[in-house]
């Protein structure tokens, strides 16, 4: 979590997975739902707050991809780049929620247009970093603004919260 | 998240599920691994920090179980008690992680003995609240200190972070 005392610009939750599948297009009348899937790697749930700018994205991507959060076959903790593992990036506006009474409010979340731009740029940065490392791993991501229908299989999610 | 400025005593991550399965006993030589499972409801990942006391537990349990984080069949947001949905409570010490360079440190986490006591008491409180509401729902929980091998199926995890 951020130590700065100032309000964070972004919040991420990370979970390790053996396999994860995410809906990117809901079913329609004559079309089945579409999904993306990764095997071993990391699921990054991400939410941007008001005031977030593109400046924070390189540090965010670099930090999240280089933190030693993955267990290698030998039991050593390594980064998702070192594993190498795949990434599933899930837009998750609910991470910006604050309780007011029994309801959750999302007043600090970035607006839709900025959010989509930041999210897309973050995905691109992660793709660049990961594909530079290995051709066997992949970056998949959800559709911004959609319901994130997710199926997750883990050997321990090892859930972490990071703020930027 | 906590607004108080003081360090939190506990952190929880909540995800909604259609079904969730958690290992509670790893496989051994002559025994298969044991699992618990819930259907529709909420997965609560929980971590206690140094200085956490039993005093905070009733408010924590009451807040988490009464927040309107679940989508009813009619699309209305209701609490897990109102749904009613089941609970899977996962001890998740990794939630206390702070990055130092590329490594995560967990220096603020409560000690093992206190952690187990707080975790068990929190589970009991949740059981009490939920079983008072409906006999059709259930509280399942992981084994403190074990690897939390988890399988999650969602219609949107709707991930929230709460601090106490």
**Mean pLDDT (whole number) for B19-29:** 95
Q: Which pLDDT does position A5 carry in this prediction?
A: 60
Mutate to test the interface with B, among A161, A162, A163, A164 (most CBs of B within 10 A): A161
Residues B45, B21: Cα–Cα separation, whole Å:
13
Asked if B157 and A147 come within 8 Å (Cβ–Cβ), the reply is no
pLDDT the model gives residue B6:
77
**CA–CA gap between residue A50 and residue B98 (Å, rounded):** 24
Q: Are the C-beta atoms of A51 and A9 separated by less than 8 Å?
A: yes
Task: Give the number of A-B residue pairs with CB atoms closer than 8 Å.
Answer: 100
Tell me which chain B residues have a C-beta less than 8 angstroms from the C-beta of A64.
none
pLDDT at B163 over 80: yes
pLDDT digits (tens, 9 = 90+) for A80-114: 999 999 999 999 999 999 999 999 999 999 999 99
Spatial contact of A155 and A1, defined as CB atoms under 8 Å apart: no
| 3-class secondary structure, A102 | coil
Predicted local confidence at residue B154, as pLDDT: 98
Q: CA-to-CA distance for B96 and B161, rounded, in angstroms?
A: 12
Interface of A with B (CB under 8 A): 1, 3, 5, 11, 13, 45, 63, 66-69, 77, 79, 90, 92, 94-95, 97-99, 102-104, 147-162
pLDDT given for residue A6 in this prediction: 77
Select from B79, B151, B158 the Cβ nearest to the Cβ of A94. B158
CA max distance for chain B: 51
Calpha distance B47→B164 (Å, rounded):
10
The arithmetic mean of pLDDT across residues B136-162, rounded, is 97
Complex confidence, ipTM: 0.95
Torsion sign (Cα): A124, A129, A132, A138 = negative
pLDDT exceeds cutoff 80 at B2: no
pTM of the shown model = 0.96
Instruction: Look at A95 and B161 and tell me if their CB atoms are within 8 Å.
Output: yes
Q: Is the separation of the CB atoms in A87 and A37 below 8 Å?
A: no
The residue written with tokens 């972490």 in the block is A160
pLDDT band at B41 (very low <50, low <70, confident <90, very high): very high
pLDDT in tens, B50-86: 999 999 999 999 999 999 999 999 999 999 999 999 9
Of A59-63, B6-10, B58-62, B154-158, the range with the lowest mean pLDDT is B6-10
Q: Give yes or no for a contact between B131 and B80, defined as CB atoms under 8 angstroms apart.
A: no
pLDDT, residue A19, reads 98
CB neighbours of A137 closer than 8 A, spacing ≥ 6?
A41, A83, A84, A85, A86, A87, A130, A131
Weakly modelled stretches of chain A, pLDDT under 50:
2-3
d(CA A20, CA B152): 9
C-alpha to C-alpha distance for B129 and B131, rounded to whole angstroms: 6
pLDDT band at B5 (very low <50, low <70, confident <90, very high): low
Q: What is the pLDDT of residue B1?
A: 52
Task: Render the burial of B50-63: b for 16+ CB within 10 Å, e for the rest.
Answer: eebeeebbeebbee
For residue A19, give every residue at least 6 positions away whose Cβ sits within 8 Å of its Cβ, in sequence order, or none. A37, A38, A39, A40, A152, A153
- What's the CA gap between A119 and A125, in Å, rounded? 10
Measured in angstroms, the CA of A50 and the nearest CA of chain B are apart by 16
């Amino acid at each position: 979590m951020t130590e700065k005392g100032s309000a964070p610009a972004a919040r991420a939750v990370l979970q390790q997975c053996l396999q994860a599948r995410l809906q990117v297009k809901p079913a329609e009348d004559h079309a089945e739902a579409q999904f993306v899937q990764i095997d071993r790697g990391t699921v990054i749930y991400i939410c941007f707050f008001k005031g977030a700018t593109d400046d924070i994205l390189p540090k965010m991507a670099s930090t999240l991809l280089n933190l030693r959060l993955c267990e290698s076959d030998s039991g050593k903790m390594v980064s998702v780049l070192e594993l190498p593992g795949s990434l599933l990036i899930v837009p998750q506006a609910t991470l910006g929620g604050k309780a007011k009474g029994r309801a959750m409010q999302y007043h600090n979340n970035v607006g839709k247009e900025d959010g989509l731009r930041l999210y897309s740029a973050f995905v691109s940065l992660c793709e660049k970093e990961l594909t530079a490392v290995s051709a066997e791993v992949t970056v998949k991501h959800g559709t911004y603004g959609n319901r994130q229908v997710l199926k997750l299989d883990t050997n321990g999610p090892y859930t972490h919260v990071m703020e930027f």
